[in-house]
Amino acid sequence: MEIGILILVSVFAWIFLHRWNQRTNKGPKTWPLVGAAIEQLMNYNQMHDWLVNYLSKSRTVVVPMPFTTYTYIADPANVEHVLKTNFANYPKGEVYHSYMEVLLGDGIFNSDGENWRKQRKTSSFEFASKNLRDFSTVVFREYSLKLSSILSQAAFDHQHLDIQELLMRMTLDSICKVGFGVEIGTLSPNLPDNRFAKAFDAANIIVTLRFIDPLWKVKKFLGVGSEAVLDQSIKIIDDFTYSVIHRRKKEIEQTQDVHNNSKMKHDILSRFIELGKDPENNINDKSLRDVVMNFVIAGRDTTATTLSWAIYMIMTHDHVAEKLYTELKSFEEDRAQEENVCLKACETQDDPESFDQRTKQFAELMSYDTLGKLYYLHAVITETLRLYPAVPQDPKGILNDDILPDGTKVKAGGMVTYVPYSMGRMEYNWGPDANQFKPERWLKDGRSKNMPRQRLSILANENGARHFV
């Protein structure tokens, strides 16, 4: 009995001392053994705004977890230190790699060191090729028109649609066409379900949840719960991906046998299959699978969510919509004059076919190069990325103990996460109007203006050595 009372008193004393030591802590509440896991789990569905609350009070927030410690940063000086100045000390790391490997493999977004550098060099060269750029432009135009047709028909029929779901379908179809060279058809008029698309979404969600689920390894070992769903989803993804790889290899061999270069494909997969013929590149089927999956991950959700937020911001800011309409109308008229094209008129407001033809004509006047003339559109997208970044937060491993520019000490084996979502909302980064949607902040005399380096460093696209390809 006395021993039991002694243990109970000791536990309460331990908790009391822990809480007393936390009284000046500016971060979330922590508890013995579990750290801040309880508060973080309770706020998972509002994770980004939860971090904004803490990072608005302190530019660096330390969040202890059961098996590691996360240090969240929003100060541009700290971010530059992690992404550029001391880049070698902050790789993706073993923790991140172990969480994401089942989906990303050893692709460019889940690798470090020489493997990453080699992929980075190859990808930069391939993505800069004119053939791929032209092919991508045609594909994105094609699927944009499919989306436009669905939206116009819904408008004429007075139907309600989920625009984000449609954008997810459009970007997945587009990315799979550019990445694999295949049609998966999720944006067909009847909006069918697709096993690959559903498996891809499920896998993406579950591997992300691993970062706050201390029991995921137990569930994986037992083959239960979310990890069982993940295994099923990855099998569907891999079956589809490897079947496309094998089919594409046969198509390339047949094309080369008849010496018909006109039928050569320009998708990412085909280009890397060609590179794999050189033994020095060390590209096998697993490498091809990882390359394409990383490309799909990079281009699908990021593009769709950015477009969703951009449309939302345009629809809720009338003056932005008016300025954008004026710019697009002027652009179309100028391009039509340059190309000596007579612009069609919609015959009636109740004729979706006429509207689609008119939209197609506008799309044909748009090209990769002429997009650079749409300064206000670019400002709208950039301002959207400031407030709603495609990558709201990005964790890095820590190889060696280090001290950040603001004096924060970080320990080897922990994680440092920079938080673009918070950074875009901090008054110490953007001034008193930080929370306002103002595309004009990116313009000077109607054209894009150069921004101070510190401001550019907090945009959603990763800076430093790992900036987006």
Residue 136 lies inside a defined structural domain of this protein: yes
Residue with tokens 């799309």: 363
Q: How many CB atoms neighbour CB 369 within 10 A?
A: 9
For residue 268, pLDDT beyond 90? no
CB 214 within 8 A of CB 67: yes
pLDDT exceeds cutoff 90 at 358 = no
Which of 113, 178, 118 has the alpha carbon at shortest distance from 142?
A: 178
Buried b vs exposed e over 172-181: b needs ≥16 C-beta within 10 Å? bbbbbbbbbb
What was the pLDDT predicted at 455? Answer: 57
Whether residue 48 lies inside any domain: the answer is no
Three-class SS state of 353:
helix
**Residue 22: pLDDT above 60?**
no
Q: How far apart (Å, rounded) are the C-alpha atoms in residues 212 and 70?
A: 11
Would you report the helix, strand and coil content of the chain in percent, each value rounded to 5? 65, 5, 30
Per cent of the chain over pLDDT 90 is 46
* Domains in the chain, number: 1
CA–CA dist 171, 301 (Å, integer): 8
Range 364-381 average pLDDT: 91
Q: Could you please report the per-residue DSSP string of 204-261?
A: HHHHHHTTT-TTHHHHHHHT-HHHHHHHHHHHHHHHHHHHHHHHHHHHHHHHHHTT-G
Which CATH number is 196's domain given? 1.10.630.10
**Other CB atoms within 10 A of residue 28 CB:** 22
Q: Report yes or no on 173 lying in a domain.
A: yes
3-state DSSP assignment of residue 75: coil
Residue 51 belongs to a domain:
no
264 lies in which domain range? 124-316
Higher pLDDT, 357 or 440: 440
Q: 273 pLDDT band (50/70/90 cuts)?
A: confident
274: pLDDT strictly greater than 80: yes
Domain presence at residue 110: no
Q: What's the pLDDT score for residue 72?
A: 95
Q: How do residues 214-230 score in pLDDT, each as one tens digit? A: 889 999 999 999 999 99
Beta strand residue intervals within 255-393, DSSP E: none
From the number of C-beta atoms within 10 Å of its C-beta (0-12, 13-18, 19+), residue 214 rates as middle
Would residue 380 count as lying in a domain? no
Within a domain: 231: yes
Q: What is the pTM of this model?
A: 0.85
Of the pLDDT bands very low, low, confident and very high (cuts 50, 70, 90), residue 251 is confident
Q: Looking at the predicted structure, is the pLDDT value of residue 101 above 90?
A: yes
Q: Is residue 56 part of a domain?
A: no
What do you get for the CA distance between the two ends of the chain, in Å? 66
The whole-angstrom separation of Cα 209 and Cα 99 is 9
The pLDDT confidence band at residue 447, using thresholds 50, 70 and 90, is confident
**pLDDT in the model for residue 309:** 97
Q: How far apart are CA 194 and CA 221, in angstroms?
A: 29
Measured distance CA(106)–CA(97) in Å, rounded: 8
Count of CA atoms in the C-beta half-sphere (13 A) of 434: 16
CA angle 128, 131, 133 (to 5 degrees): 55
CA atoms within 13 Å, Cβ hemisphere of 462: 20
What torsion do the CA atoms of 259, 264, 270, 271 make, to the nearest 10 degrees? Answer: 90
